[in-house]
Each structure stands twice: as C-alpha cells, then as structure tokens.
Amino acid sequence: MASTFKPTTIEEMETDNARLRETACAVCAETYEDRVKAQTPHCKFGEEGICCKNCSMGPCRITPKAPRGICGADAHAIAARNYVRSIAAGTSSHSDHAREILHVLKSSSPDGNYQVRDEVKLIKLATEWGVKTEGRDIYDIAHDVADVGLLEFGKPDGFQLFTRRATEERQKLWEKEGIQPRAIDREVVTAMHMTHMGNSSDAEALVRQGLRMSLANGWGGSMIGTEITDILFGTPTVWTTEGNLGVLEEDYVNVVVHGHDPAFSEMLVTACEDRELVEYARSKGAKGINVVGLCCTANEVAMRHGVRMAGNFLQQENVVLTGAVEMMCVDIQCIFPALATLTQCFHTKFITSSPIARIPGSEYVEFHPETAFQQAKDLVRAAIDNYQNRDQSKVYIPSTKQTATVGYPTEQIISHLDNVTNSHIEELGTYKPVIDAIRAGVLRGAVAIVGCNNPRVRPDYSHMEIMKELIANDILIVATGCAAQMATKAGLLNKESKILCGDGLKRVCELVDIPPVLHMGACVDISRMMLLATGIAKDWGVDITEIPVVGCAPEWMSEKAVSIANYVVSTGLDVYLGIEPQVTGSSQMMELITEGTRKITGAGYIINKDPHELVKSIIEGIEAKRTALGI
C-alpha cells in the first residue's frame, strides 16, 4: 500500500502557533513572542559576554575606550569567566538532577513507591563499581550503588568512575591534558573559585577548567542520571506514540507533565492510569484522563510508557493556550516562570513540585519519595475536579500531530543492528554492522542533534532544515531533548519518513525497521550518545576523533547546552552550533572554542547561524573524516 505519510511543514507549525496567539490576545495574555519584542535589541555587552559583575566595584563593561574593568580584567578574561560560569550552572543542573535520582534509588524498596525495574543493569553497574552482588538482596545492592554514586559528587580523591568507560586513548589524553574530572562538586566549586574576582584571568586556563568540569557532567552527573533512571524506571524500549499539540483531547481531562526529573512524572503517569481515577473522571463527564509530556519529561515518559508528547520548549505556552489543560505539573529545568500568569488566564492549575524550581503564582506541592504515589493521585483527582471549570469558549486544540517511534538507547540500537540480515555471528551485540554500513558508504556517517529551540532564530526551522538535509544525504541522526521533539513534530520519527532519505539510509531504515532519526531520550541522556560514539570507535579500532560522527545543536539556549557542548568536544567530537556562544566580544575566546580546544581534545566548535550553511559544513566535515579514514 502506498504511504500516506506527509511531513509537517514549518509553515503548518507556525499557522497553529499564530492561531493560538489569537487566543492569547483574546484573554489578554502575553507570550514569549511579546517578551522577545520587549527585550529587543538585547544588551550588546551581555550578548558578547563582556559585562562583568563578579564584584561590587562593577559592573564593568568593555568598550574600545574602556578596554579593562576596574580590576584590570580584559575582554578575554571577562568573556572566559562568564563562559565557565555557564558551564558550572549547566553541570550543576544535570548533576543535581542525578543526585536526586540517586536519593530516590536509596529510598527504593520492594513495597515502597519506587522499585528497581532493571535488575540486570543494576547488577552490571554494581559489578563495574565494585559493589558485592553475590547472594545479596537486590535492594541492599541498590542502596550500596546509590552510596557509591553519591560519593562521585564529593569524594576527596580520584576521578569520575565512568571515565573508565571511555576509550583508553581518551582516558590517557584527559590525564595528559590535566582535564580528567575529579568529584563533580569539586569541579564546579573550582570553576566558581577560579572565576571569583582576583583569581584567573587567563582565558585558556579557564577554558581548560570548563572542559574538565563538563567531563564531570557528561562522564559523571549526566551518565549517573541516565544509568540510575534506567535502573529505577526501566531501560527504554521502542514505543510507537504521537507528538504535537494534537495529542491534547477535547473530551478528556488533560494533565501535562513538564520538566526533566522522571521521579515525579512516573508517579503521575501511573496515577493517570489508575482505574478508580479514570472512573472518577468519567463520573465528571470526561471520557477519561489524557496525560501528555512536554520538553524532556515528555522524552522520559514517552520512551518508557509510550506517553504522547505535546511539544518542545517554546511550545510550553501554546499547550496552556489551547484552553484544554486541567493541570500542568512541573518538576525542574526549562520551565517558564511566565506559566504562572498565563495559567491564571485559564482554568489550568499550575503545580510546582521541587524546591529547586519555586515559581511565584504556582501551587507548590513538594514531592517526597515516601508519599509520591498518594501525592500524584491527589493531584490527578484535583485535575479531574477542575475539568468542570474549563471554559469551552476559550478552547482551541490544533489537530496537528504525527506518529513517532521512540526509545533507542544504545542497548536498543545494538539489538536492532543484530537484526541486519547479513550480520555474522561475531558481529552480534557490537557496532560492527553500522561500521560496515559506514565503510561501504551506505551510511555516510551519523550526527547527534541535540538541544532546545530559541527565538534568536526562526524556532524549529534550523532543526528541520538540517535534519532533512542530513537524512537526504544518507546521514543517520540520533536526537535527544527538544531536538528530538522537533523531529517528532515534523514527522521524522515516523518510520514512513524514510521516503525523505537518500537511497542508502532508506535501505538501512527498511532493513533494520527504524526511522531515520533515532530518539535517544532527554538532554541528560546525551551521555548515551557519548557511549554510542565510544562503542563505534572501539569496535572500529580508531580514535574517536576519526569516526564520521559529530554533534550539532542548531537552536540551543540553556547553560546545560554549554556544558554538553564542552563534554562532547572533550570526548573528541566536533560540535556544530547554530547559535553563537556569548563570547564574541573576545577574539581570544572565539579562537579558543573553535580552534584552541582542537589542540587539547582534537575537536572544537563550528558556528554558523544559517542552517543551510551549517548543514553544508557538517556534511563536508563528515566527508573529510571519511577521506582521512580512506573510505
């Protein structure tokens, strides 16, 4: 049967957006577009990274007339210090998220709210970390593993345990360059100390600390977050689901989960499936309960339960503007404080749950592991009670949505590769089939597309153009975070989107039964991508810098993204950015992040705001790596 698949265009997405802005006008609500206008033009000093307020003699701003701050710091020192502080905030965010998950693991018990779902992964990790497993109760092992993980944050000596998973060459290079990451908290504290008034003004030394600290994230905090989340909630498997605003339902109680920490959303999803609560929703005139995700929480629950995804970062206000959301429950990170005032224009209850993300105007229900499920059930009941308050005159739900296949952690990718019909027995459980496909040129390479969307560029457009161009050129994409959500909205996670691929990638998609963009999870799961690239390099027997695999963040906005970009570069993979880091006021910093890091890690940034030029340079970069490998 001929495919009826049609990708969603950027214009279709923008039409939905414009229609929802009419609702915003009708209810006198402002949206991020209004605030972008109010903030334009942005402060030039901030944009270029040359404003310092690290002491109260300032703020100092660098101009040709005033090339040094009061203490004598120049543009290079100031831009470098600001940049490193961004990496510190990003590293802290991912890592503190991981620490919370470790505490949840520590509280896990057979009859409590949180259980161990992936015992095999737990035993593997326990063995890797030297925790005794033989003859022991699984929860005793889990609690000891949690203790080892928690020590990764503050241990006085040694380096991050997960760095041993990197290739030997990488580990030696990190040691030689003095960027092997120590305890996570230590790296962040050192960075904050170095950037305090009167300490480092040497941009290169600061960039090196940025690399080291980012490794404490990518090969520390983030990797711990991903591993422990898998142990607690299950390693993701492949699910078919749907994405975009059309997943909200007119006749259902709509509950939206938003943020990053799955400990909260997992409980809410389970509560929304509770038979008694579904019956209660029916007794109130709804057809049932519809739980959907936003941002990275959407990725977490989609790849473990098939929960449908309402959209990415800049879609968070649109979801409320449909007028059909009874409750928006948020945990941590990437939550607009603006949601508090926006939800007040509707009947929507806005629930914050973490002491890390307190927002005035929200209803604060602090979530505790011991009472988590009961709290979730109470919230869902309150959402059901709120259904009767929906004002139908304000409701408009765009019908746009796409089918999506999600849930490809490294384990799934390897097991799918084993299905390649001509695989030899010795290739099973390895990356050899994909390496063969790359060597043969059926696949030209792979790109990890990650990150947010950002009104500094036409939102989602860069993602869409770059993804389409790459798959048309036989380049496989792995995606996380809001980039993965964009691919969902566009239809690129639909297996039928293989019609947009070049002949080689199309054949791979058919043979392995995958979409051309593989959904690997949330932004914390970019650590999975580091292991994927490491696995390819190890099985290929070449250095990681040599493989035709790169990273790309076309529309990044958060400090987490700065930390991520640094650990990807530290791992030896080039990173293509569509938004300039805020260091353009320093020629030395621009040189350091694009070329200087190449002398340390073998990789660096390539920056271009034009998506067509950026994708052209990605393809050239991949082809150059192929040529260097002689393939």
- Please tell me whether residue 234 binds ligand SF4 under the rule CB under 6 A: no
Q: CB nearer to ligand MSK: give 508 or 579.
A: 579
Dihedral (CA of 453, 456, 458, 461) sign: negative
The partner in contact with residue 482, picked from ligand SF4, ligand MSK, none with C-beta cut-offs of 5 to 8 angstroms by kind, is ligand MSK
* Distance between CA atoms of residues 78 and 46, nearest Å: 11
Query: Which residue's CB is nearer to ligand MSK, number 101 or number 482?
Result: 482
Minimum Å distance from CB 73 to ligand SF4?
Answer: 4
Residue 320 beta carbon to ligand MSK: minimum distance, rounded to whole angstroms = 17
Q: In whole angstroms, how close is the CB of 554 to ligand MSK at the nearest point?
A: 11
Tokens 């500094």, located at residue: 456
Q: By C-beta, is 493 or 619 nearer to ligand MSK?
A: 493
State the binding partner of 296 from ligand SF4, ligand MSK, none, CB within 5 to 8 A by kind.
ligand MSK
Residues 288-327 that bind ligand SF4 (CB under 6 A): none
Q: How does 509-527 read in b/e, with b if 16+ C-beta sit within 10 Å?
A: bebbebbbbbbbbbbbbbb
Q: How many residues bind ligand MSK (CB under 6 A)?
A: 14
Residue among 529, 520, 528, 505 nearest 434 (CA): 505
At 234, is the secondary structure helix, strand, or coil?
A: coil
Q: Nearest 5°: CA angle at 300, between 497 and 95?
A: 125
Pairing verdict, β 349-352 and 363-364: parallel
71 binds ligand SF4 (CB under 6 A): yes
Residue 419: count other Cβ atoms within 10 Å of its Cβ: 13
257 interacts with ligand MSK by CB under 6 A: no
- Taking residue 224's Cβ as centre, other Cβ atoms within 10 Å add up to 30
DSSP string, 17-70: HHHHHHHHHHTT---HHHHHHHHPSPPHHHHHT-EE-SSTT--EE--SS--B-T
**173 in helix, strand or coil?**
helix
Which of ligand SF4, ligand MSK, none lies near 433, with the C-beta cut-off 5 to 8 A by kind?
none
What are the residue ranges of helices labelled H in 284-371? 295-305, 316-321, 339-344
197 makes contact, choosing from ligand SF4, ligand MSK, none, with CB < 5 to 8 Å by partner type, with ligand SF4
**52 near ligand SF4 (CB under 6 A):** yes
Which of 371, 390, 388, 389 is CA-nearest to residue 379? 371
Choose, by CB under 6 A, the member of 27, 55, 189, 472 that binds ligand SF4. 55
Q: Which residues contact 217 (CB under 8 A, 6 or more apart)?
A: 90, 91, 94, 95, 184, 563, 564, 567
Is residue 53 part of the contact set for ligand SF4 (CB under 6 A)?
Answer: yes
User: Quick one: 116 or 522, whose CB is closer to ligand MSK?
Assistant: 522
78, 80, 607 from 588: Cα distances, Å = 11, 9, 15
Query: What is the C-alpha separation between 457 and 476, in angstroms, rounded?
Result: 24
- Residue 467, both tokens: 């993804």
Partner in contact with 205, chosen from ligand MSK, ligand SF4, none, beta carbon below 5 to 8 Å by kind: none
CA distance 628 to 613: 22
Can you tell me the distance from the alpha carbon of 427 to that of 415, in angstroms, rounded to the nearest whole number?
11
Under the binding rule (CB under 6 A), the answer on residue 334 touching ligand MSK is: yes
With CB under 5 to 8 Å by kind, the binding choice for 451 among ligand MSK, ligand SF4, none is ligand MSK
Kindly identify the residues of this chain, within the stretch 143-202, that bind ligand SF4 according to CB under 6 A: 197
Q: What is the dihedral of CA 238, 243, 248, 254, to 10 degrees?
A: 40
Q: Identify what 477 binds: ligand MSK, ligand SF4, none; CB under 5 to 8 Å per kind.
A: none
Q: Which of 7, 49, 69, 218 binds ligand SF4 (CB under 6 A)?
A: 69
For ligand SF4, which residue of 8, 54, 92, 571 counts as binding (CB under 6 A)?
54
The full length of the chain comes to 631
Q: How far is the CB of 440 from ligand MSK (least distance, A)?
A: 33
Candidate residues 43, 57, 120, 499; the one interacting with ligand SF4 per rule CB under 6 A: 57
Q: In this chain, which of 296, 449, 512, 575 binds ligand MSK, going by CB under 6 A?
A: 296
Min dist. Cβ of residue 71 to ligand SF4 (A): 3
| For ligand SF4, the closer CB: 69 or 246 | 69
Q: Residues touching ligand SF4: how many (CB under 6 A)?
A: 14
Contact characters 354-393, ligand MSK, x per CB under 6 A: ----------------------------------------
Question: 310: helix, coil or strand?
Answer: strand
Q: Does 558 bind ligand MSK (CB under 6 A)?
A: yes
58 binds, among ligand MSK, ligand SF4, none (CB under 5 to 8 A by kind): ligand SF4
Kind and range of the H or E element at 485? helix 481-490
Smaller CB separation from ligand MSK, 256 or 286? 256
Q: Residue 196 Cβ, how far from ligand SF4 at the closest point, in Å?
A: 8
Shortest Å distance, C-beta 151 to ligand MSK? 26
Q: Does residue 560 bind ligand MSK (CB under 6 A)?
A: yes
376 binds ligand SF4 (CB under 6 A): no
Residue range at the interface with ligand SF4 (CB under 6 A); choices 57-65, 92-100, 284-292, 396-404: 57-65
Burial tier of 534 (Cβ tally within 10 Å: 0-12, 13-18, 19+):
buried
Residue closer to ligand SF4 (CB basis): 74 or 273:
74
114, 153, 219, 313: which one binds ligand MSK (CB under 6 A): 313
Residue in 341, 302, 348 with CA at minimum distance from that of residue 322: 348
DSSP code of residue 135: T
Q: How far is the CB of 187 from ligand SF4 (least distance, A)?
A: 22
Burial of 400 (0-12, 13-18, 19+ CB in 10 A): middle
HEC profile for 287-303? CCEEEEEEHHHHHHHHH
User: Cβ closer to ligand MSK: 313 or 408?
Assistant: 313
Segment near ligand SF4 (CB under 6 A); pick from 50-58, 185-193, 262-270, 334-342:
50-58
Please list every residue from 489 through 528 that binds ligand MSK, using CB under 6 A: 522-523
Q: Shortest gap between Cβ of 336 and ligand MSK (angstroms)?
A: 10
Say if residues 611 and 465 touch (Cβ distance below 8 Å): yes
List the single partner that 319 binds among ligand MSK, ligand SF4, none, CB under 5 to 8 Å by kind: none
592 to each of 280, 566, 575, how far by Cα in Å?
Answer: 60, 12, 14
The residues binding ligand MSK (CB under 6 A) are 260, 295-296, 312-313, 334, 451-452, 481-482, 522-523, 558, 560
The residues binding ligand SF4 (CB under 6 A) are 52-55, 57-60, 69-71, 73, 78, 197
